[in-house]
């Protein structure tokens, strides 16, 4: 691969191609792109964290595009017993056309991208989950038809929240985020999104008031309160998040035709009640399906 190889570590890496990749995802879902465009190419998929949707969507997506997905648990790789990221990235670059990594630390994918000679894809880190955000905007577009909308996010200002904040800013979509004090999104990403919004017209609100965030929202979004790696502070954190539960009362503050979104896995009775996530306004299964189509679009865009 030459020096023009593209990586997808953050939503910012595709800031000028979001519409193009969204169109690809929709085309894949509608069956307008056929054939085996990645035939003969392999994707290394490294997992430092457990996964359902990321693993299956990338594995099936690569297979459907004609390529060969390779599941690699980091604990079973030599890097699990001390081999450097640089050596692993350089060697894998000689074998495969691309590397997807689901990592504990965002710095890990940055280092992989620096050392690899093939495209590196962020399958989730502690800072961002850009693949999820792409599937999310595909779902919003399918359900609402445009991005002249308000997304109300309540809960933890985590990796998913960070990526949603960025992609909303780039698309000019309004986003209001409510978290407990001290659990806001990453400060640098907030500032970045606000700077982007000056050009795109996105209205960004970061608040501790859950009612303000979802008021007149077209989309209500939440995620688990206890992310992978946060288990040590589980009880302390849960108590701080109680009023941020998406329940019938909170959902009533959104627009009557608002949709409910969750990136899954969900803890029913915690961040969302069963009546909402399994109710008529919920689109979480469609959202999960779109991970496959968005992943195929990313693979096609980076590896074809």
Domains and CATH numbers, the chain: 11-129+289-303 (3.40.50.1370), 132-287 (3.40.50.1370)
Neighbouring C-beta atoms of residue 20, cutoff 10 Å: 12
Residue 102 catalytic? yes
Catalytic residue among 129, 149, 262, 293: 129
Q: How far is CA 202 from CA 42, 50, 59, 166, 288, in A?
A: 38, 34, 35, 10, 26
Q: pLDDT tier at 143 (50, 70, 90 boundaries)? A: very high
Query: Lowest-confidence range among 76-80, 113-117, 159-163?
Result: 76-80
d(CA 173, CA 191): 16
Average pLDDT over residues 190-219: 98
d(CA 203, CA 169): 8
Residue 132 catalytic? yes
Catalytic residue among 53, 102, 262, 293: 102
Tens-digit pLDDT profile for residues 30-76: 999 999 999 999 999 999 999 999 999 999 999 999 999 999 998 88
The rounded percent of the chain whose pLDDT value lies above 70 is 98
Tens-digit pLDDT profile for residues 228-263: 767 667 888 999 999 999 999 999 999 999 999 999
Q: Average pLDDT, whole number, for the chain? A: 96
Strand partners, 222: 154, 262
At residue 1, the pLDDT reads: 40
Catalytic residue among 106, 138, 161, 263: 263
d(CA 220, CA 186): 20
Residue 94 catalytic? no
Q: Is the pLDDT of residue 3 over 90?
A: no
Q: Which residues contact 296 (CB under 8 A, 6 or more apart)?
A: 24, 25, 28, 61, 64, 65
Neighbouring C-beta atoms of residue 62, cutoff 10 Å: 25
Average pLDDT over residues 80-98: 95
The rounded percent of the chain whose pLDDT value lies above 90 is 92
Residue 171 has, within 13 A of its CA and on its CB side, a CA count of 28
Catalytic residue among 106, 126, 131, 132: 132
- Higher local confidence (pLDDT), 158 or 233: 158
At residue 2, the pLDDT reads: 46
| pTM of the predicted protein model | 0.96
Catalytic residue among 53, 106, 291, 293: 291
State in Å, rounded, how far the first CA of the chain is from the last one: 12
Contact (Cβ atoms closer than 8 angstroms) between residue 148 and residue 137: no
Residue 2 catalytic? no
At residue 232, the pLDDT reads: 61
Catalytic residue among 156, 223, 262, 287: 223
Residue 23 catalytic? no
At residue 231, the pLDDT reads: 66
């Amino acid at each position: 691969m030459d020096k023009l190889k593209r990586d997808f570590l953050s939503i910012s890496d595709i800031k000028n191609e979001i519409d193009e990749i969204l169109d690809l995802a929709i085309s894949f879902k509608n069956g307008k792109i056929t054939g085996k465009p990645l035939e003969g190419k392999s994707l290394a998929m490294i997992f430092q964290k457990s996964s359902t949707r990321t693993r299956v969507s990338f594995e099936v997506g690569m297979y459907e595009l004609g390529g060969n997905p390779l599941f690699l648990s980091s604990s079973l790789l030599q890097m699990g017993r001390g081999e450097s990221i640089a050596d692993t990235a350089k060697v894998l670059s000689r074998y495969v056309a691309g590397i997807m990594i689901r990592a504990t630390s965002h710095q890990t994918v940055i280092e992989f991208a620096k050392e690899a000679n093939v495209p590196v894809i962020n399958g989730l880190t502690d800072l961002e989950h850009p693949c999820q955000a792409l599937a999310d905007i595909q779902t919003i577009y399918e359900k609402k038809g445009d991005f002249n909308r308000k997304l109300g996010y309540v809960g933890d200002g985590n990796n998913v929240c960070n990526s949603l904040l960025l992609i909303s800013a780039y698309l000019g979509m309004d986003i209001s985020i409510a978290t407990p004090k001290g659990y806001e999104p990453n400060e640098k990403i907030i500032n970045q999104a606000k700077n982007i919004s000056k050009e795109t017209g996105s209205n960004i609100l970061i608040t501790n008031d859950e009612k303000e965030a979802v008021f007149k929202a077209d989309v209500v979004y939440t995620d688990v309160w206890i992310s992978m790696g946060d288990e040590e502070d589980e009880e302390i954190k849960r108590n701080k998040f109680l009023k941020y539960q998406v329940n019938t009362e909170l959902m009533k503050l959104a627009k009557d035709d608002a949709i409910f979104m969750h990136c899954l896995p969900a803890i029913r009775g915690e961040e969302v009640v069963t009546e909402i996530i399994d109710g008529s306004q919920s689109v979480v299964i469609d959202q999960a399906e779109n991970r496959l189509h968005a992943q195929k679009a990313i693979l096609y865009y980076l590896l074809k």
